[in-house]
């Protein structure tokens, strides 16, 4: 592992979520590049750098992809960088961010509308509803299911008209890796042994920011509030911030600049308390 160089412009690793590709980060990635950061936005195994329409046309490479395979992949990406990065993840990518910090990676982490790791049992009805199309059919755990335009409107586009949401679906939606969904849910009651387990008391974990969207149906504020209570058992810094009137599309919804700037400023400011050169 590269050690322990930290500069004022650390690299940034952006991790996308379920039903999305790296292109969901296009807004934030360019903004951070314009500020002089190296920004790395790799796609999950099975997605790579393919366009959403190409993934929808042939989602077979996503079939059977699981959580540990994805997290190991991002750990390898981080190991290839010249120095430790700021890690930011959206939705399921926010769970992976927490798992990577738990491995001692990153100088700071941001979960943008993150799901919860093992042991955080909050499961609002809207979250359950977003997962039902996949979770209702366990016989397809090894498959890669599409998300309908109607369901996309509920999960991602609840601030948009149906027509606007359909356009967003065309631009960004891909199939899910069903295994990721099942592994994440089945892990929830297994605080110590679940695939997504983290040590909430880890004293040397990099600073972590949890970002909530006030009208998010997939990972509403109740989930990040519950996670924050778990992290409060330890001494490492974890904070939460909520942006009202924001849906699950925090990274692309109108006003995304405010959140992107807040996330980077918070990361650099608090990383500097551990790595004084990162200011």
Domain that holds residue 114: 12-274
CATH number, domain of 216, equals 3.40.50.1820
- The model scores a pTM over 0.85: yes
What would the pLDDT profile of 39-89 be if each residue is shown by its tens digit? 999 999 999 999 999 999 999 999 999 999 999 999 999 999 999 999 999
Q: Are 168 and 156 in contact (CB under 8 A)?
A: yes
Look at residue 260 and tell me if it is in a domain: yes
Look at residue 135 and tell me if it is in a domain: yes
Look at residue 252 and tell me if it is in a domain: yes
Q: How many residues does the chain have?
A: 279
Average pLDDT, stretch 15-31?
97
Query: Read out DSSP for 68-97?
Result: HHHHHHHHHHHHTSSSPPEEEEETHHHHHH
What is the overall mean pLDDT for the chain? 94
What would the pLDDT profile of 10-21 be if each residue is shown by its tens digit? 999 999 999 999
What would the pLDDT profile of 111-126 be if each residue is shown by its tens digit? 999 999 999 998 888 8
Q: Which residue(s) pair with 39 in the sheet?
A: 12
Look at residue 203 and tell me if it is in a domain: yes
Look at residue 4 and tell me if it is in a domain: no
What would the pLDDT profile of 196-241 be if each residue is shown by its tens digit? 999 999 999 999 999 999 999 999 999 999 999 999 999 999 999 9
Q: Are 16 and 249 in contact (CB under 8 A)?
A: no
Sheet of 208-213, strand order: 39-40, 12-15, 86-90, 108-112, 208-213, 238-243
Look at residue 149 and tell me if it is in a domain: yes
Look at residue 148 and tell me if it is in a domain: yes
The residue among 38, 35, 56, 31 whose CA lies nearest residue 46 is 56
Look at residue 142 and tell me if it is in a domain: yes
Report the alpha-carbon distance of residue 214 to residue 196 in Å, rounded.
25
**For the chain, what is the domain count?**
1
């Amino acid at each position: 592992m590269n050690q322990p160089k930290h500069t004022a412009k650390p690299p940034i690793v952006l991790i996308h979520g379920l039903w999305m590709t790296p292109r969901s980060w296009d807004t934030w990635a360019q903004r951070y590049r314009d500020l002089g950061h190296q920004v790395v936005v790799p796609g999950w195994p099975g997605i790579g750098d393919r366009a959403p329409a190409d993934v929808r046309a042939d989602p077979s490479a996503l079939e059977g992809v699981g959580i540990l395979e994805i997290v190991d992949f991002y750990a390898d990406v981080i190991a290839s960088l010249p120095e430790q990065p700021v890690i930011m993840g959206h939705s399921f990518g926010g769970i992976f961010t927490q798992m990577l910090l738990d491995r001692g990676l990153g100088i700071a982490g941001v979960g943008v509308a993150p799901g919860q790791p093992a042991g955080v049992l909050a499961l609002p009805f809207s979250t359950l509803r977003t997962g039902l199309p996949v979770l209702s059919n366990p016989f397809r755990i090894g498959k890669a299911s599409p998300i309908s335009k109607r369901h996309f409107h509920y999960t991602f586009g609840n601030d948009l008209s149906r027509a606007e949401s359909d356009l967003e679906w065309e631009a960004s939606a891909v199939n899910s890796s069903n295994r990721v969904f099942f592994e994440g849910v089945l892990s929830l009651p297994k605080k110590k042994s679940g695939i997504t387990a983290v040590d909430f008391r880890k004293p040397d974990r990099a600073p972590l920011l949890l970002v909530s969207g006030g009208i998010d149906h997939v990972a509403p504020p109740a989930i990040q509030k519950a996670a924050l209570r778990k992290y409060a058992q330890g001494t490492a810094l974890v904070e939460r911030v909520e942006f009202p009137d924001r849906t699950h599309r925090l990274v692309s919804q109108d006003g995304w600049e405010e959140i992107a700037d807040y996330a980077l400023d918070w990361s650099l400011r608090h990383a500097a308390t551990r790595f004084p050169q990162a200011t």
